[in-house]
Structure 1
Amino acid sequence: MIPLTIAQIARATAGDPLLSGDDTLDTVVSGTVDTDSRLIRPGDVFVAKPGETTDGHRFVATAAEAGAALALVERPVDAPLTQIVVADAVTALADLARAVVADVRERGDLRIVGITGSNGKTTTKNLLARILEGEGETVSPRASFNNEVGAPLTMLRVGADTRYLVSEFGASAPGEIARLAGLVHPDVGIVLMVGMAHAGGFGGIEATFHAKSELVRAVRAGGLAVLNADDARVAAMAPIAAEGEVNVRWFGRGADADVRAEAVEVTASGTHCTVVADGVSAPLHLRVLGEHHVMNALAAIAAATALGVSLTDAVARVETLELAERWRMQPLGSERVRIINDAYNASPDSMAAALRTLAQITRPGERTVAVLGAMSELGEYAEDEHDRIGLLAVRLGIQRIVIVGPEARRMYLEAIAQGSWDGEAVFFATADEAYDYLLGELRDGDRVLVKSSNSVGLRFLGDRLGESFS
């Protein structure tokens, strides 16, 4: 965090300072802000956030022992450090982030990019950050820090010399993106796609459209919306951009996109294509597995070139990224048995894309194996969407379909109904049972996809398989 006095922090958070030791209202604090007491270092700021399973106030003393300079609390705690008592810790965190970013923006040359979409946010964030890091100091989220806590924590990492802030905005209900993006009003807003992820929480696909369009509405006047020309719902956000005096830059596979991909070829080592941006072309070897990640790369390149990065530099930096993030199309195992661990998140769109990738990268003589768990947060759409994935797995010719967990059983039943009843499709109630089966079933030449929502935990099954066949 930029240096601020205790008085300035109190004003930004509408809090009441309770001084400790030699501190005064003019004492300057400049450490990292965090809600996890285990990560606190000397000089840091601890935010005592109440949680579903525990309460951050229990760890204020722990933060003090670690050397915290200050704590944001909702009630005073008996601990030897200065505290600022606020009405709501999460709201105070957001207010502090808003104030810090505004201060840096006013005094420097900070450019802010916001990213949202039903799928691909984290991959696009990492690709864009890799590009922009070559231009100047860049702050981007760790992992998927994209919610009401993670996004402000990322914003608070900006400093006087930060040139780019890349923010990822996720949401599970309407209004969340508006609140987060409204803290900073990005110069550039990227909308990747509108799909079924979190459809249960939003109340359907149209409600998801309105939620994702909140980012376009939050872009500052004169800024830029980078929109997916191949997604009809994203394309329908162009009038919203026009209403806010925001320009539009299109990315996609079609000829009319400002930034597009041609001659796409998917291999086990990545995807090859030619990127065309504003009439200039460059070959790209995207090492992140999956044809669907070409769109994420195009979005990142579209934003970066709009910010003044040359296409040549943008493509060269994208090519250096081998892995989007742990548990996202992560290659494990060995050439003998290759494991693709993509079980950090799953929606109908990302599940379908991962299955298609598995089919595309498997060569003659190799066998496709899909280990699939439930897709969460689909609400009333869950049964139909799980049925569709079971159907797709059969139609793609996946040779072994391993379904794990009772919430995913519909995929197994659909695969059986479509003809995979002679051992091609199997069901296991637990990951341990599936692991035991796979240890005996997998053989040389197998290409194995492990895919589920984060809550199911199949990412750990993927790790175990990767270790066993390394």
Structure 2
Amino acid sequence: MKPLRLHELLGATPYQVLHGKTDMTIQNVVTQPKKLRGGTLLLRTRRREALDWAQYQRYSDAVIVLQKREGTPEDWGKLTVVKVPDIQAAYWNFVDSYRKRFSIPVYAITGTCGKTTTKEMIAHLFRASYTVQATVRSRNASAFNLGYLLGIDDSTDVAVFETGVATYPDDLHDSGKYFQPTIGILNNIGLDHLKGCGTFENYVKGKAELLDIIEPAGTLIYNADDENIAKIDRSGFRGLQYSFGTSRGADFRAVAIRYGEGGMEFTLQFRGLSHALFVPGFGEPNVYNALAAIAGAYAAGMGIREAGERLKSFEHLPGHLQLKQGVQGSAILDDSWSSNPTSARSALHVMQEIANGRRKIAVLGRLTDDLEEQFDEESRKIGALAVEKGIEILITRGPDAKVIGEGALRAGMNPQQVLHAQDLEEAYQLLKPHLDKRALVLVKSSYYDVSDELLKKIVRE
């Protein structure tokens, strides 16, 4: 956080100092009482969490901002205690004024799949020359927003944030209050998060909130090939718009897509020029992520040639469609980070494309439980797709994944090739006899259903 004096931090909020000094410099702002330390200001928005006055006696440069008076001068000790008429207004005044201190490119990236990878790609493109503040892995819950915002300071050149939609309405509206993005990227919209959004239509509306939070002179970048994004009315967006995809009419268009050594080769067409590019990692969705990242970097002033060169050295986060050497000469396709219908279909397609004559074995955990009443139907569809993609041995893991096997059986798969394991150890025992140099094994699971212990046993160190 950029250090601020108390009057700078509270800005336009009227306040009354009840106790203590006011000439200190604030190094951090928190809302959880347990995080109060020296040099920290606590905005008391969480009234249900108790204040530990005895613990606070240790801190001489700490501030508590209250709406309702709590404690006594004896409790306050060395603290500075400030009273405001509306603590929520004080909080949002601070958030808004802090964000407006920085005139830098700020990205908000959303989508059902690929937003973490796109975020990581953009951060990678800029880190060679600039200081970047970014979301950590896939930790995009709203509870992290304040911390991410305060990670911006005078040394920050670019901020890249992943913004999720787990509930509707207002998940993205809430993120927008913090980040006020200058560039918004919408990767794709598939089936997910029905538990918090209620219906798929609401989920699409939740993603569409991205258009509301981009700054008026900002840039919207969207997937031109996504049928659900096409349902979003973009006519009211007054900023600059770029599209990406493989279809004619996409501003950033990929053609001649092919699997290469360790990744995807493609030609990017933009404004009459063609660029031969390579992105590490397999699958056409990875090309879409690369298109989004390059378009995003271009919107902030980076040339396509420079972005393409930097993209060659990109490294994916663990569990994101990574091909690894397995034991006994096998090959392991690790896509164990998350599993919704869109990503599961993509993983099976990639497996089919890179098999090159190897025996295809899929170890599938449950799909995300955010599918609500559509969980069984979507799981059976994945089982049927496994048959279509030529999976020769299907191992489902955990009670909720068994329905995937049911879908495979209904699609005509030999029952002797459809196996079910209750847990990771049983899955390993079923898989172990098939691990040889002819085996290509896909390990697919969701973050609810960790596969680390299985991967430790089948991936070569």
Q: TM-score, normalised by structure 2?
A: 0.86
Deviation at 1:83, TM superposition (A): 7.5
Distance in 1, matches of 2:346 and 2:359, equals 18
Deviation at 1:318, TM superposition (A): 1.4
Distance in 1, matches of 2:56 and 2:397, equals 40
Which of these residues, 85, 100, 103, is aligned with residue 102 of structure 1?
A: 100
Residues 25 and 39, structure 2, Cα contact 8 Å, conserved in 1: no
**What percentage of residue pairs aligned between the two structures are identical?**
26
Distance in 1, matches of 2:280 and 2:418, equals 31
Residues 61 and 80, structure 1, Cα contact 8 Å, conserved in 2: no
Partner of 1:305: 298
Which of these residues, 222, 226, 236, is aligned with residue 231 of structure 1?
A: 226
Partner of 2:364: 372
Partner of 1:141: 135
Deviation at 1:65, TM superposition (A): 8.2
- Is 417-426 or 385-394 further displaced after alignment? 417-426
Deviation at 1:134, TM superposition (A): 3.8
Residues 339 and 465, structure 1, Cα contact 8 Å, conserved in 2: no
5+ residue gaps, structure 1 = none
Which of these residues, 303, 317, 320, is aligned with residue 328 of structure 1?
A: 320
Deviation at 1:275, TM superposition (A): 1.6
CA change 1:173–1:205 in 2 (3 A) is same
Distance in 2, matches of 1:228 and 1:257, equals 8
CA change 1:438–1:307 in 2 (3 A) is same
Distance in 1, matches of 2:59 and 2:438, equals 51
Partner of 1:114: 108
CA change 1:257–1:437 in 2 (3 A) is same
Pair member with larger Rg:
2
Residues 33 and 51, structure 2, Cα contact 8 Å, conserved in 1: no
CA change 1:151–1:45 in 2 (3 A) is same
1:79-130: CA deviations, max 9, x gaps?
A: 988477899999987664433211223xxxx121111111111100011111
- Is 437-446 or 165-174 further displaced after alignment? 437-446
1:5 has 2:5 as partner: yes
Deviation at 1:328, TM superposition (A): 1.7
1:247-298: CA deviations, max 9, x gaps?
A: 2111001121110111111246111111222222222221123321110110
Distance in 2, matches of 1:292 and 1:308, equals 25
Residues 200 and 381, structure 1, Cα contact 8 Å, conserved in 2: no
Deviation at 1:228, TM superposition (A): 0.6
1:306-360: CA deviations, max 9, x gaps?
A: 221111111111111121x222223444482222222222110011001111111
Partner of 1:30: 27
Which of these residues, 392, 397, 420, is aligned with residue 404 of structure 1?
A: 397
Deviation at 1:42, TM superposition (A): 7.6
Distance in 1, matches of 2:130 and 2:92, equals 25
Distance in 1, matches of 2:399 and 2:437, equals 30
CA change 1:145–1:132 in 2 (3 A) is same
Deviation at 1:449, TM superposition (A): 1.6
5+ residue gaps, structure 2 = none
Deviation at 1:12, TM superposition (A): 7.9
Distance in 2, matches of 1:442 and 1:49, equals 55
Deviation at 1:32, TM superposition (A): 8.3
Residues 46 and 63, structure 1, Cα contact 8 Å, conserved in 2: no
Distance in 2, matches of 1:217 and 1:348, equals 27
Residues 122 and 143, structure 1, Cα contact 8 Å, conserved in 2: yes
- Is 121-130 or 160-169 further displaced after alignment? 160-169
Deviation at 1:441, TM superposition (A): 3.3
Deviation at 1:73, TM superposition (A): 9.0
Which of these residues, 212, 233, 248, is aligned with residue 255 of structure 1?
A: 248
State the secondary structure of the residue aligned to 1:260. Answer: strand
Considering only aligned residues, what root-mean-square deviation do their CA atoms show, in Å? Answer: 3.5
CA change 1:443–1:152 in 2 (3 A) is same
